[in-house]
Chains A and B, each alone.
Chain A
Amino acid sequence: MSENPFKIIRSTDQPPEHLRSEVIGSVKFVIMLMRVLQLFVADPSAALFEKVRIVGGSGTSRTDDTTKPPTDLPPTRS
């Protein structure tokens, strides 16, 4: 019986060397994206807005700022 022609035409080519580094590079990029995403999902405010608060006023909001005197009261005279 003759040999199966499907076996004869089977490709024996090997993938080029550079393909490995491309695949692994993409995998590393995906890992990085997933880590950023995990960080964001775990605590979005900590991931993005913590720095903004620190720069804005040492972690206190503007409404808590007591350094300004109230403006709607008249000044008192002694």
Chain B
Amino acid sequence: MFRKKAKPVIQLSDEELVAELQRAMDADRFGVLYDRYSAKVYQKCMGMTRNKDISQDLVHDIFLKAFVNLPKFDHRSKFGTWLYSITYNYCLDHLRKNQRQRTSDLDDDLLEDGADERYEAELLSVRSDRLAPVLEALEPGDRAILLMKYQDELSVRDMMDVLGLTESAVKMRSMRARERALAKYHQLYREEP
């Protein structure tokens, strides 16, 4: 009689929905989360795989994985960040399983001072129609890190959370990914202006 009227499910925040789902599993409530995030997850998968059929399979598996792991979600990060982390890592696992490992064209010597900034500027000045083939030719881990940094503009802190790496490891991997992307770009478009 005096009970407070419950908020409509659609008006609940992500965290409220997740808390309710942790108390009781419910497909309709999970459907609301799906509606909020499916486009973003699908676009991430498309960015990583460039294939609609594979992306649809990945989206299905990612949401199912998220649902099964909801009891483990500890509310320390936002639900969106947590789902983003599952998405990236699942796509990476998939690509690594299905692509043969490419050997690096570059050695592991450290770069001269200032070279990394020049590489970044050069990478960001690449024509967009040439960038897609370059990314496709890269090893999945390199592609993921470049998309996180330049497409989703994740901070180093967020990348550390998503990839489960230390700050120095994230910075080193970003630098190596830039180097390899530019090497691939020069390899593919050596003759052309």
A residues neighboring B (CB under 8 Å) = 2, 4-16, 19-20, 22-24, 26-28, 30-31, 34
**Interface class of chain B by DSSP:** helix
Q: Is the CB of A23 within 8 A of B59?
A: yes
Min CB–CB distance A42 → chain B (angstroms): 16
Q: Which of chain B's residues 106-136 have a Cβ closer than 8 Å to chain A? A: 124-128, 131-132, 135
Among the listed B25, B26, B34, which residue makes an inter-chain contact with A23, where contact means beta carbons less than 8 Å apart?
Answer: B34
Give CA–CA (A10, B42) in the complex, Å. Answer: 11
Q: How far is the CB of A3 from chain B (nearest CB, A)?
A: 8
CA distance A18 to B54 in the complex (A): 15
Bitwise interface map of B from 134 to 165 toward A, beta carbon under 8 Å scored 1, else 0: 01000000000011001100000000000000
What is the chain B residue whose CB lies nearest that of A15? Answer: B42
Q: Which residue of chain B has its CB nearest to the CB of A25?
A: B27
Q: How far is the CA of A15 from the CA of B47 in the complex (A)?
A: 13
Kindly state the separation between the CA atoms of A21 and B32 in the bound complex, as whole angstroms.
12
Closest to A3 in B: B128
Q: Which residues of chain B come closer than 8 Å to A31, judged between CB atoms?
A: 25-27
| Contact B131 A5, beta carbon cutoff 8 Å | yes
Asked if B56 and A16 make an inter-chain contact with CB atoms under 8 angstroms apart, the answer reads yes
| Chain B residues, CB < 8 A from A6 | 124, 131, 146-147, 150-151
- Chain A residues with Cβ below 8 Å from B127 are 5
Instruction: List B contacts of A11 (CB < 8 A).
Output: 42-43, 46-47
- Identify the stretch in B10-18, B61-69, B169-177 within 8 Å (CB) of chain A at 4 or more residues: B61-69
Contacts of B35 in A (CB 8 A): 20
Closest CB-CB distance, B17 to chain A, in whole Å? 14
Chain A residues in 8 Å Cβ range of B39: 14-15
Q: Contacts A13-B42, A19-B59, A24-B34 hold; do A2 and B125 have CB atoms under 8 A apart?
A: yes
What residues on A are CB-neighbors of B60 within 8 Å?
19, 22-23, 26
Contact indicator per residue, chain B 19-32, by CB within 8 Å of chain A (1) or not (0): 00000011100110
CA distance A56 to B65 in the complex (A): 43
